[in-house]
Amino acid sequence: MSAGPFGFELIRTDGSARLGRMRTAHGSVETPAFMPVATQGTVKSLTPADLTAAGAQIVLANTYHLLLRPGHELVRELGGLHRFMGWDGPILTDSGGFQVFSLSKLRRIGEAGVEFRSHVDGSLRTLSPESAVAIQHALGVDVLHPLDECLAHPATEAETERSLALTVRWLHRAVAAHRSAGASGALFGIVQGGVSHPLRRRAVEETCALGLPGYAIGGLAVGEPKPVLYEITELVAGRLPPDRPRYLMGVGKPTDLVEAVARGVDMFDCVMPTRNGRNGQAFTSDGPLTIGNARFSRDAAPLDPTCPCEACRRFSRAYIRHLFGARELLGYRLLSLHNLTFYLGLMRQMREAIAGGEFGPFRSRFLERYGVEAT
């Protein structure tokens, strides 16, 4: 399968933690990497220049959302998603599967694909393995994903097995569609299999048999207990080929990122830094803080004195608390910027720790300072 200029280089390992570099037509990404979520073609409240300032090297956008609004054909007509949203770095899209199963009124799932009602206007839509790939080609993204079925947690072993089999059959169709289109962009595989060890092992085998340029770990961070998240991550990452990037979808909290890097994951995405930011939560090295707390009302200190972001360089906790109390848009923007800066700074620290062979001590120090109760 042609992946255009796509490539992955594993630079060094430290235990199971990996330092690497992913190459795309829109530039390189140092891994472990965190991808800010540009759900509808915008990381909420922030510009591409803000993302660069925060340290982002790649962003994620949601195929489902862009399909419904403004529509992938419109984006193609306007030169593709990079030009449309003004971000010239790499873009990764999910397949739309997760949102079909979580946001829309699902009408019918069958061998051919899924039929669902748009959560935007109630219109009836379909998504197939072939159309999901074609939509992502229209968007012109660097990394795309095959349509998969996303089971809710908990699911029985039998349900999980049936679902996994469908996801693998869909993967074969997605790969064929991608190959025959001759489009650029790297199609990753998604490893499903719920919380079942045997099914996860089978999923890795059947997915990796296709020799794809990268692999996502799907179906986690959907409500399972934290030890299960770590256990399945370790099981899957330990079986994926070392020369391909590994992307843990939808994860997670700062401690989850550290624990998953320790288990060999290279890429992450999560709405938490921006969504929690809009809800008044600021991440810091000492754990999260709730800016609305009365103890910050006269606090002249920045959110995090070690943080280089504009929110911390220019404003006090008291001011940002005032912005939230007055429901001012700048408050949402400043905490989104700060939280992404924190997340992306954490990834950089992890990369530096791996490069120096110091990931183990870094992990211990981080977790101790961040606080267990704050996971």
Active-site residue numbers? 94, 269
| 140 binds a second copy, rule: CB under 8 A | no
Show the binding pattern over residues 50-69: x = contacts a second copy (CB under 8 A), - = does not.
---------------x---x
**What is the closest distance, in whole angstroms, from the C-beta atom of residue 41 to a second copy in the complex?**
7
Count of positions on this chain that bind a second copy (CB under 8 A): 38
Q: Which is nearer to a second copy, 230 or 319 (CB)?
A: 319
Among 25, 176, 318, 367, binds a second copy (CB under 8 A): 318
Question: Which two structure tokens, joined as six digits, stand for 111?
Answer: 């061998």
Q: How far is the CB of 310 from a second copy (least distance, A)?
A: 7
Give min distance, CB of 308 to a second copy, in A: 15
Long-range contacts at 131-136 (CB < 8 A, ≥ 24 apart): 132/63, 132/95, 132/96, 132/97, 132/174, 133/174, 133/177, 133/178, 133/181, 133/187, 134/177, 134/181, 135/63, 135/66, 135/67, 135/72, 135/96, 136/63, 136/72, 136/93, 136/95, 136/185
By the rule CB under 8 A, 325 interacts with a second copy: yes
76 binds a second copy (CB under 8 A): no
Whole-number minimum distance, CB 35 to a second copy, in Å?
Answer: 18
Pairing of strands 105-109, 114-117: antiparallel
**Which range touches a second copy (CB under 8 A), out of 134-142, 257-265, 309-317, 351-359?**
309-317
SS3 301: coil
> What single-letter amino acid sits at 217?
I
Nearer to a second copy, 32 or 48 (CB): 48
Q: Indicate the residue among 158 and 300 with the shorter CB distance to a second copy.
A: 300
Q: Identify the CA nearest to 66 among candidates 143, 171, 129, 141.
A: 141
- Residues 6 or more apart whose Cβ sits within 8 Å of residue 311: 302, 303, 320, 334, 335, 337, 338
Classify each residue of 267-286 as buried b or exposed e, where b means 16 or more C-beta atoms within 10 Å of its C-beta. Answer: bbbbbbbbebbbebbbbbbe
Q: Is 324 in the site for a second copy (CB under 8 A)?
A: no
**No. of helices (H) and no. of strands (E), the chain:** 15, 18
Looking at residues 326 to 345 of the shown chain, list those that interact with a second copy (rule: CB under 8 A): 326, 328-330, 332-334
- Tokens representing 122 are 């109630």
Q: How many CB atoms lie within 10 A of CB 247?
A: 28
Interface with a second copy (CB under 8 A), residue from 5, 27, 86, 308? 86
Type of residue found at 70? P
Sort 314 into a burial class: Cβ within 10 Å, 0-12 / 13-18 / 19+.
exposed
Binding a second copy (rule: CB under 8 A), the pick from 314, 357, 369, 371 is: 314
Place of tokens 């401690």: 255
Parallel/antiparallel/unpaired status of strands 124-127 and 59-61: unpaired
- Residue position matching structure tokens 């770590």: 230
Q: Is there binding between residue 375 and a second copy (CB under 8 A)?
A: no
Which of 155-163, 164-172, 211-219, 323-331 is the region at the interface with a second copy (rule: CB under 8 A)?
323-331
Cβ–Cβ contacts within 10 Å for residue 234, how many? 17
Among 40, 118, 131, 349, binds a second copy (CB under 8 A): 40
Q: Which is nearer to a second copy, 2 or 279 (CB)?
A: 279
Does 96 bind a second copy (CB under 8 A)? Our answer is no
As measured in angstroms, the least distance from the Cβ of 280 to a second copy is 15
Task: Based on the shown chain and the rule CB under 8 A, indicate whether residue 315 belongs to the binding site for a second copy.
Answer: yes
Q: Which x/- pattern, by CB under 8 A, does the window 289-308 give for a second copy?
A: --------xx-x--------
Looking only at the bridges linking them, the beta strands covering 189-191 and 215-217 are parallel
Shortest reach from residue 268's CB to a second copy, in Å: 23
- Summarize as ranges the residues that interact with a second copy (CB under 8 A): 40-42, 44-49, 65, 69-70, 74, 77-79, 84-86, 297-298, 300, 310, 314-316, 318-319, 322-323, 325-326, 328-330, 332-334
